[in-house]
Amino acid sequence: MSAISSPMISVIIPCKNGEKYLEDLLISIKNQNADIEIILVDDGSNDNTGLIAKKFNCVVIRNEISKGPVVAKNQALKIAKGSYIIFCDSDDIMNPNTLNLFLDEFKKDSSLYAIQAKVQDFISDDISQEEKQKTIAKPQAYYGLFTCAILMKKDVFDIIGCFNESLKAGEIIEWQTKMIQNNLKIKKIDFISTKRRLHMTNFGKMQQNREFKDYASILRAKLRK
């Protein structure tokens, strides 16, 4: 499927102080042979995140004070022009031909609302030996939750609504739950779409306690229903 005939994909990147790894991600996205717009939400950064994004001709939304990745995703969704949406973390790398492979799957089955691919962990080579020993990378690829691993129709959000901004983390689990509740079809494919960089300041590590609280809140709500 050529970039000319394919529908536009909105690539959404919530990012705070991401200058260290952001360029690697943006290069990997720009190298996709697809019709894309990149929307980066510069969420209260005090580094060169915004300047790097503008260098790559991204659409930049600037929050002077950080509002968190959940709000950032919603901000980007409101201005996204693409027929499809993919969310990326600023420290990851999208593998070649990922977007066209996703689009080919949608072309085969128009009833799909999302395609989910795999992620492969790697330990960033710029961290110390001591940090590497504390960082555990999964040896096998696994199905990713967003992080350049799920392409979805933008129509999904007309059906399930935007993300719950009362959550600081755990919004992905709630998204999955709503997809299931609304019988929206997701297809898993055996393809590694993303290299997921592990380092000492991954958002998941920094927000682990909050993630557990949010997951518990989502589970309680699900059980009440």
Whole-number pLDDT of residue 202: 55
Q: What does the alpha-carbon distance between residue 175 and residue 116 come to, in Å, rounded to a whole number?
A: 13
- Alpha helices in the chain, H assignment, sequence order: 22-30, 49-55, 69-79, 98-108, 129-134, 156-160, 171-181, 203-206, 208-224
**Is 13 strand, coil or helix?**
strand
4 assigned to some structural domain:
no
pLDDT band at 141 (very low <50, low <70, confident <90, very high): very high
Range with the lowest mean pLDDT among 19-33, 40-54, 89-103, 125-139?
Answer: 125-139
pLDDT at 215 over 60: no
Tens of pLDDT along 38-66?
A: 999 999 999 999 999 999 999 999 999 99
Mean pLDDT of 141-164: 95
Range of the domain at 157: 9-224
Range with the lowest mean pLDDT among 11-20, 90-99, 208-217?
Answer: 208-217
**CATH code of 169's domain:** 3.90.550.10
173 assigned to some structural domain:
yes
36 assigned to some structural domain:
yes
